[in-house]
Chain A
């Protein structure tokens, strides 16, 4: 039981490049989330998916798109990376109640 996995762990992009962050969970959770974390800013929700086939914007969705490919996988895409998107990105999934399980994170630097 791997929990929540994310790839890649580290990535450096040049401004304007695109990339997709991958997330998968093997706990059969319905809800999945993408957060970014910047120093002093806590966790900010980018997008979430309450169930397979649905996605909704969070607090900071601009510059990102998501796909809930199936129940296991929830990907985050940066179409044209900007230095302001330098951050640590966490994917999470949730049980029926309250506990969110987080992946190990992707550390993204945009130069």
Chain B
């Protein structure tokens, strides 16, 4: 079956860099997405990797390696407001319908002063 694994919790300090990993098992997929969700809020889209390599958007970067079935989200110059849950998700090519996302269980990031 299809599944994504990510760490349940990560802790870091302000100004630091943190990497949140996502490994996946699918029969094939279109790309890897990352979403951020603050407590009590809705998920919001951060990034999407269709191809292998690094995508950079301001302080956030996302990386994909299809050969390793692995991706990560890199957050630089951490701020307190980055404390949130981060979800990876893939559009599964093998599901027979490419409109659905398969979601990881989320990583709770705590940024401390």
- Chain A residues in the interface with B (C-beta under 8 A): 31, 40-45, 48, 50, 56, 58, 90, 94, 97-105
Contacts and interface: CB of A to CB of B under 8 A. Distances in A.
B60 interface: no
A22 B87 CA distance: 25
Nearest to B45: A99
Contacts of A90: 42-43
B interface, size bucket? 20 to 34
A61 B50 CA distance: 29
A10 to B, nearest CB: 12
B43 A50 contact: no
Contact of A94 (B35, B43, B99, B105): B99
A42 B44 CA distance: 14
Contact of B104 (A42, A45, A98, A99): A42
23 contacts: A40-B105, A42-B87, A42-B105, A43-B43, A45-B100, A45-B101, A50-B97, A50-B99, A56-B97, A90-B43, A98-B30, A98-B31, A98-B33, A99-B33, A99-B45, A99-B48, A100-B35, A101-B45, A102-B42, A102-B43, A102-B44, A104-B42, A105-B42
A74 B33 CA distance: 24
A20 B99 CA distance: 24
Binding site secondary structure of chain A: strand
Interface of B: 30-31, 33, 35, 41-45, 48, 50, 87, 91, 97, 99-101, 103-106
B91 to A, nearest CB: 7
Contacts of A50: 97, 99
A57 B59 CA distance: 37
Contacts of B42: 90, 102-105
Contacts of A45: 100-101
Given A99-B45, A100-B43, 20 more contacts: A31-B99, A42-B87, A42-B103, A42-B104, A42-B105, A43-B87, A45-B100, A48-B99, A48-B100, A58-B100, A98-B30, A98-B31, A98-B48, A98-B50, A99-B33, A100-B101, A102-B42, A103-B42, A104-B42, A105-B41
